[in-house]
Amino acid sequence: MYIKKVLIIAEAGVNHNGDVELAKKLIDIAANAGVDYVKFQTFKSEKLASKAAIKAEYQIKNTKESNTSQVDMLRKLELKKEVYPILMEHCKKKYVKFLSSPFDEESVDFLASMEIPIFKIPSGEITNYPYLKKIGMLNKEVILSTGMCDMNDIKAAIDLLVTSGTPKEKISVLHCNTEYPTPMKDVNLNAMLTIKKELGVNVGYSDHTIGIEVPVAAVAMGATIIEKHFTIDKTMFGPDHKASLEPNELKEMVHAIRNIEEALGDGKKQPSYSEQKNMAIARKSIHFLKKMKKGDIINESDLVMKRPGDGISPMKVNEIVGKILKHSVEADDVLKWENLK
C-alpha cells in the first residue's frame, strides 16, 4: 500500500541566538527526531526592520526587554553568511535537509546562490510585492505561510508568484496563525481545508500552539506539510523559545505524525490483512437450535446464529428456510450446505 509521506519541517528559526555551535546542536536534535528538513531564518537586520519598528507583544514578554527596538533584537539573532556552508555541511553529515526562510530581497538572492531547493515564504512577507516577484522568477518549489491572512491575500500572493514564473503546481500553502503561542480557539484548522478547496493547492500547517496535538490533528485532516518551532530549552533567552518544542517533544510529534499518516491508509474499505484472521472468530454462522430428524422442513425458529463464523452466513438464512434435511442433526451443530436437499 502506498503511503503519502508528510513533509516535516523542524523550525530552528532564530532559536540558535546567533550562535553557530548552538545552530549545529539544533541540527543534531532535528536529525535525531527524524524530520525531513531543519529550517533557519535568513535576514539582514537593517533590511528587515527600521529603527522605529517596535517588538511584538510576545517578543517583549519572551525576551523581557521592553526598552529595545525590534532591530536591536534582530541583530543578536542574525546568522552571518559565512556560517551557511558550515550548517549545510553539518546537515549533510546528519542526513537531514537544510532550509532557510529569506526575509528580504538580498537574502532571497543569497539563498538562491546557495542552491536552496525550496523557498519558504514567511507569513510577514506575503504582502511584499517585490520580494514575492523575485522569488516567483526563480521557478523553485515554494511553501507559503499565511498567518494574518484572508483568502484575498493568499490568492494575490499566489497569482503574483505564478505571473512571475512559478507554476501553481510548485506552490504549497500552509495555514498558520501568527501569535506565539497561538490560543486553541484561534487555530481554525478548518481554514486549511478552505484554502485547499477554494485555491486548488497542496496544503499544510505551520503551528505555533503549545504541544503537538494540533499538528497531528492537521495531518489527520489532510495536511501534507507540517512546520513546527523547536528549541534545546524553552527557558532560554529569545523571542521564540517558549512557543517551541523541546527535543523529546519534537521526537514525539514526528512519531505521532508518522503513525497518523500510516493510519490514514488508502481509503478503500475492506478487511485489512491483520483482521482477516479474526473474521471467523468474531462473526457468526447458522447453527441448529435443536435436534432435528432427516426429512424435517427447516423453519427460522429451528436455527440460531452463533460463533464461529466459518459456516453459512446468517445473511443467507432466507435461502435456508423451507429446505429439507438430508440427515439428522444435533442441537448446536453448524449448518452445512450438504445437510440440505
pLDDT value at residue 2? 46
Considering the chain, what is the average pLDDT of its residues?
93
Of 176, 161, 168, 157, nearest to 225 by C-alpha is 176
**Does the pLDDT of residue 156 top 80, yes or no?**
yes
**Does the pLDDT of residue 146 top 80, yes or no?**
yes
pLDDT value at residue 64? 65
pLDDT in tens, 83-102: 999 999 999 999 999 999 99
Domains observed in the chain:
7-264 (3.20.20.70), 276-339 (3.90.1210.10)
Of 208, 278, 203, nearest to 243 by C-alpha is 208
Average pLDDT over residues 185-214: 98
Contact (Cβ atoms closer than 8 angstroms) between residue 151 and residue 196? no
pLDDT value at residue 130? 98
**Does the pLDDT of residue 275 top 50, yes or no?**
yes
Average pLDDT over residues 264-271: 93
pLDDT in tens, 176-194: 999 989 999 999 999 999 9
pLDDT in tens, 225-253: 999 999 999 998 877 888 899 999 999 99
Q: What does DSSP say about strands 97-102 and 37-42: parallel, antiparallel, or unpaired?
A: parallel
The alpha carbon torsion through 190, 193, 194, 198 (nearest 10 deg) reads 180
Distances (CA, A) of 259 to 3, 196, 255, 263, 264: 11, 23, 6, 6, 9
CA 198, 203, 209, 211 torsion-angle sign: positive
pLDDT value at residue 63? 67
Distances (CA, A) of 217 to 214, 246, 257, 274, 292: 5, 19, 9, 25, 57
pTM over 0.95: no
pLDDT value at residue 67? 67
pLDDT in tens, 25-59: 999 999 999 999 999 999 877 777 887 788 677 77
pLDDT value at residue 68? 72
Give the DSSP H or E segment for 232: none
- All 3 cell numbers of residue 34? 527524524
**Does the pLDDT of residue 1 top 50, yes or no?**
no
Higher pLDDT, 285 or 78: 285
Quickly list DSSP for 44-58: -HHHH--TTPPPPHH
